[in-house]
């Protein structure tokens, strides 16, 4: 149960005075559904209204607060012209203009002959000073409130700055004084204010410096959020670490058969990582290990060799992929190796229906299938293993934590032990992000590519040179190469002027008839399969696609990838797409087509991509350029969405919070002390309620 002291700030937005369902919906779109969400919405800018010159001295372009007398109203002679009001002080006149101004409202707000305080931006209109739609209008009694520094918050259509700021102020007033959860010595060492004081200070910036993430108040709040995150992860890990798994004592008989059937030797990196995984598998606590390997580094073979140990010990394994295309590709790649080593392998996707599916599920339940490769279909009811001992989750950021738990719960052996889990990703996750998502989960990294792979030549070109690129593609086809052509959208968008996959397919098909196939996420599975099969068999030489090919698609004969509107993709995503080529010993190239003018961030992205193929460096740079939220698509990635912490600016605090969380739970695993009670409140405050369930006395 959430502590009673937090009840007021978890009330819905409609409990605020003047906030009805319509405004609440807009506020929720920007911040979230509760009052506490408004408290976490820190200002990103400020408007200083302290400059208060006379009318004659007010410079054009500046924001000023003026004390003026209302001289005259000039309603518009025609409807589409603005309503004008002439005001003045002893130094000169100023025209206030209101487009679509309501006469009754303006006469009431700015009555002729009265003195008013107005604040807004001065403009020069044909030599006359003018102010369009003043931001603030008030009486002399309100001058101190108007002549101030205002915080600027994110907005949405139909929600202006004043109602937003007013709602945030009202929400902040409901934040209670809470017991201190930070170590007093650490607080003093950093010279941080208390939580309540820090929150109020962060919402009342007086200068641009007060908006910086290095401001003590902002660092304090970031630390609170990161500590809640690390404490929650540590509690979940403490709980899962207590679960008994299987101790796999394999003799490596099956593994050796697989290695003998490989057309190449394992890299040193693969051997090291395999040893780390096997060492975990031999211990009884259930394993959870993350395997990070850049595109083409050979993760799948490592996973198969680990699954082989589980199979040798009489258990079953599951290999989960995020898409139908990828699941089929894995099954096709693993089938000959499984056959050579005597492993019974099967594939299950959402397409399997009727009697064939029924027979497969029966075989799985009876233990006649050793390794099941599949998509989300594996989670479905009625998919029962005889004894699941090992699970591999490929491109794990495409699956939520709850899905991971669902899969391990299918380990329905007679003694209900938990399956070992190997999470794999080709999207390199910077250390800071890995900490926020997994705490101190064991991480293995594949740092080499298989021998014989060459670097990929990466070039950037403006879209104006499209015809030149098509001519180059035509020459590449004649030399026997295959080409991916990636577009950001499926169909032409009214809001974004970008090439659509369908339009580009038609255009290329006109130029190179019979050589082009189309593949995107909105096509039916059989159509996608047919397009991909035509490309991988060489029947067609160009595959026009959306990012549906981003993950795992493997056609070694493809040596060129053209990425259209490269400026619209993230750095990590561009790196993933580039990794579709360079999968053989043939020379490969990546052409980044961009629209001018190229923004600063997009230019930086393209520069980094041209400099390096090191996925880990690329991921770190992407984090700096874009922030964590966008990096992997936070909502989809199982990564937390931070409101107060900026991972690029607060990486040092993340490490400190990580260490602090471990120390806290070593000393007080049930959070039963006075500080422990305050830390429970912290977990609830940042909505990490799920972690509190794991406290024995919680």
Are residues 300 and 203 part of one domain? no
The domain in which residue 349 lies consists of 253-446
131 beta partners: 96
Residue 312, domain member (yes or no): yes
Residue 382, domain member (yes or no): yes
Indicate the residue among 446, 467, 490 that finishes a domain: 446
What local confidence, expressed as pLDDT, does residue 579 receive?
85
- C-alpha–C-alpha distance, residues 681 and 670, integer Å: 13
- C-alpha–C-alpha distance, residues 550 and 573, integer Å: 7
Q: What is the CATH number of the domain that holds 96?
A: 2.40.50.140
124 beta partners: 129
- C-alpha–C-alpha distance, residues 239 and 233, integer Å: 10
Query: Which residues, given as ranges, of the chain have pLDDT below 50?
Result: 494-497, 628-638, 697-698
Are residues 515 and 375 part of one domain? no
**Structure tokens that stand for 601 in this block:** 């961030």
Q: Among all chains, which residue has been given the structure tokens 């002027």? A: 497
Indicate the residue among 98, 115, 147 that finishes a domain: 147
What local confidence, expressed as pLDDT, does residue 406 receive?
66
CB atoms within 10 A of CB 166: 15
Are residues 441 and 329 part of one domain? yes
Query: What phi, psi does 424 have (nearest 5°)?
Result: -125, 145
Are residues 299 and 186 part of one domain? no
- C-alpha–C-alpha distance, residues 334 and 659, integer Å: 41
What local confidence, expressed as pLDDT, does residue 463 receive?
92
Q: What is the CATH number of the domain that holds 325?
A: 3.40.50.300
Query: What phi, psi does 448 have (nearest 5°)?
Result: -115, 155
Contact 306, 277 (CB under 8 A): yes
- C-alpha–C-alpha distance, residues 536 and 11, integer Å: 56
Residue 238, domain member (yes or no): no
Contact 695, 239 (CB under 8 A): no
Are residues 490 and 437 part of one domain? no
Residue 559, domain member (yes or no): yes
Are residues 88 and 36 part of one domain? no
Please tell me whether residue 614 adopts helix, strand or coil conformation. Answer: coil
Are residues 482 and 435 part of one domain? no
Residue 657, domain member (yes or no): no
Strands 136-138 and 288-293: unpaired
132 beta partners: 97
What local confidence, expressed as pLDDT, does residue 325 receive?
80
Are residues 534 and 435 part of one domain? no
pTM: 0.69
Indicate the residue among 392, 413, 446 that finishes a domain: 446
- C-alpha–C-alpha distance, residues 565 and 549, integer Å: 16
CB atoms within 10 A of CB 689: 12
Please tell me whether residue 151 adopts helix, strand or coil conformation. Answer: strand
Are residues 197 and 298 part of one domain? no
Are residues 507 and 582 part of one domain? yes
Number of domains in the chain: 4
Are residues 378 and 322 part of one domain? yes
Residue 277, domain member (yes or no): yes
End-to-end CA distance of the chain: 9
Residue 163, domain member (yes or no): no
| CA 660 to each of CA 224, 466, 657, 663, 668: distance values in angstroms, whole numbers, following the listed order | 11, 54, 5, 5, 12
- C-alpha–C-alpha distance, residues 542 and 536, integer Å: 10
Are residues 270 and 204 part of one domain? no
Contact 66, 134 (CB under 8 A): no
What local confidence, expressed as pLDDT, does residue 396 receive?
63
Residue 296, domain member (yes or no): yes
- C-alpha–C-alpha distance, residues 248 and 282, integer Å: 5
What local confidence, expressed as pLDDT, does residue 218 receive?
97
What local confidence, expressed as pLDDT, does residue 585 receive?
80
Q: Which helix (H) or strand (E) holds 685?
A: helix 674-685
**Structure tokens that stand for 169 in this block:** 């102020």
- C-alpha–C-alpha distance, residues 541 and 543, integer Å: 7
**Structure tokens that stand for 348 in this block:** 């299950």
Per-residue 3-state assignment (H helix, E strand, C coil) for 15-72: HCCCCCHHHHHHHHHHCCCEHHHHHCCCCCEEEECCCCCCHHHCCCCCEEEEEEEEEE
What local confidence, expressed as pLDDT, does residue 156 receive?
87
- In order, the DSSP letters of 530-546 are HHHHHHHTTSSSEEEE-
Contact 516, 545 (CB under 8 A): no
């Amino acid at each position: 149960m959430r502590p009673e002291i937090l009840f007021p700030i978890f009330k819905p937005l409609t409990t605020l005075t003047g906030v009805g369902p319509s405004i609440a919906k807009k506020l929720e779109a920007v911040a979230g559904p509760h009052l506490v969400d408004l408290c976490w919405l820190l200002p990103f800018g400020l408007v200083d209204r302290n400059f208060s010159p006379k009318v004659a001295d007010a410079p054009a372009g500046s924001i000023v607060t003026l004390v003026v007398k209302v001289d005259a109203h000039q309603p518009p002679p025609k409807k589409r012209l603005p309503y004008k009001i002439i005001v003045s002080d002893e130094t000169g006149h100023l025209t206030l203009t209101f487009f679509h101004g309501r006469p009754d409202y303006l006469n009431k707000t700015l009555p002729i002959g009265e003195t008013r305080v107005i604040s807004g931006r001065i403009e020069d209109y044909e030599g006359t000073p003018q102010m369009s739609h003043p931001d603030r209008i008030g009486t002399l009694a309100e001058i101190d409130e108007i002549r101030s520094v205002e915080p600027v918050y994110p907005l949405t259509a139909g929600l202006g700055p004043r109602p937003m700021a007013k709602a945030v102020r009202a929400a902040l007033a409901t934040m209670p004084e809470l017991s201190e959860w930070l170590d007093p010595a650490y607080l003093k060492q950093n010279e941080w204010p208390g939580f309540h004081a820090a929150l109020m200070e962060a919402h009342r910036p007086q200068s641009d410096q007060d908006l910086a993430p290095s401001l003590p108040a902002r660092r304090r709040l970031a630390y609170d959020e990161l500590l809640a995150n690390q404490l929650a992860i540590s509690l979940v890990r403490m709980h899962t670490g207590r679960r008994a798994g299987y101790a796999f004592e394999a003799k490596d008989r099956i593994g050796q058969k697989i290695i003998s059937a490989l057309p190449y030797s394992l890299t040193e990196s693969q051997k090291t990582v395999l040893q780390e995984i096997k060492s975990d598998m031999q211990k009884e606590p259930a394993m959870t290990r993350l395997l990070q390997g850049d595109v083409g580094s050979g993760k799948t073979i490592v996973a198969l060799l680990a699954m082989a140990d589980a199979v040798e010990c009489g258990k079953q394994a599951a290999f989960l992929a995020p898409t139908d295309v990828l699941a089929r590709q894995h099954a096709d790649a693993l089938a000959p190796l499984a056959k050579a080593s005597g492993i019974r392998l099967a594939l299950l996707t959402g397409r399997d229906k009727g009697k064939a599916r029924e027979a497969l599920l029966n075989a799985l339940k009876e233990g006649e299938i050793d390794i099941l490769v599949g998509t989300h279909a594996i989670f479905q009811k009625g998919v029962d293993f005889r004894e699941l001992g090992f699970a591999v989750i490929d491109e794990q950021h495409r699956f939520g934590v709850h899905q991971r738990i669902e899969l391990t719960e299918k380990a329905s052996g007679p003694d209900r032990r938990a399956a070992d889990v190997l999470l794999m990703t080709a999207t390199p996750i910077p250390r800071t992000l890995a900490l926020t998502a997994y705490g101190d989960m064991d991480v293995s990294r594949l740092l080499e590519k298989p021998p014989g792979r060459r670097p990929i030549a990466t070039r950037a070109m403006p879209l104006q040179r499209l015809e030149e690129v098509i001519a180059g593609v035509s020459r590449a086809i004649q030399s026997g190469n295959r080409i991916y052509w990636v577009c950001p959208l499926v169909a032409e968008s009214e809001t974004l002027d970008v090439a659509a996959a369908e339009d580009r397919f038609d255009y290329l098909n006109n130029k190179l008839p019979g050589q082009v196939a189309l593949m995107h996420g909105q096509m039916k599975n059989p159509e996608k399969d047919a397009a991909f099969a035509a490309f991988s068999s060489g029947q067609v030489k160009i595959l026009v696609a959306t990012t549906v090919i981003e993950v795992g698609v493997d056609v070694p004969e493809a040596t060129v990838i053209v990425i259209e509107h490269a400026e619209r993709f993230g750095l990590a995503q561009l790196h993933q797409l580039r990794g579709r080529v360079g999968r053989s010993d043939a020379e490969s190239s990546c052409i980044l087509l961009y629209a001018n003018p190229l923004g600063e961030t997009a230019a930086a992205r393209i520069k980094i991509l041209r400099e390096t193929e090191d996925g880990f460096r690329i991921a770190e740079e992407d984090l700096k350029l874009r922030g964590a939220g966008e990096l992997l698509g936070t909502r989809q990635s199982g990564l937390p969405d931070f409101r107060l912490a900026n991972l690029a600016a607060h990486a040092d605090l993340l490490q400190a919070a990580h260490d602090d969380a471990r120390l806290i739970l070593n000393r007080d695993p049930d959070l039963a002390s006075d500080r422990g009670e305050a830390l429970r409140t912290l977990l609830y405050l940042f909505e990490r309620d799920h972690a509190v369930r794991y406290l024995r006395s919680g």
